[in-house]
Amino acid sequence: MEVTLQYFEGCPHWQVAADRLLALAAGRTDISVSFQVIDGPEHAEAVGFHGSPSILVDGVDPFDDGTAVVGYGCRVYPTADGRQGCPTVEQLTEALRPTP
């Protein structure tokens, strides 16, 4: 499973998302984590960026509910505790669950 964390420099939440992803991937040989810096609005548009931080699993955004817009900006995630700047550990665990 290839996991890509997309973010822009200065995003206040990308490092939390990175720490959570790396902790969940530790010891799992089926997960490879990479990082993609989005360096401006044109780049965001070109790659279909849904805001920072965005997480792609095998090229698909598991958190896209159909309302996310493409653009160079911050992203928020609905969680059990309200809107947050990155997915919870539980949400990421579900997104990284191996498929049978």
In a domain, 43, yes or no: yes
User: Average pLDDT of 29-41?
Assistant: 96
In a domain, 100, yes or no: no
How does pLDDT run across 44-79, given as a tens digit for each residue? 999 999 999 999 999 999 999 888 889 999 999 999
Number of domains in the chain: 1
Summary mean pLDDT of the chain: 95
Other beta carbons within 10 angstroms of residue 57's beta carbon come to 17
Give the rounded percent of residues in the chain with a pLDDT score beyond 70. Answer: 100
**Which CATH number goes with the domain that contains 65?**
3.40.30
In a domain, 17, yes or no: yes
- Is 57 in contact with 92 (CB distance < 8 Å)? no
pLDDT band at 27 (very low <50, low <70, confident <90, very high): confident
In a domain, 40, yes or no: yes
In a domain, 24, yes or no: yes
pTM over the 0.75 mark: yes
In a domain, 23, yes or no: yes
As a whole number of angstroms, the distance between CA 19 and CA 35 comes to: 12
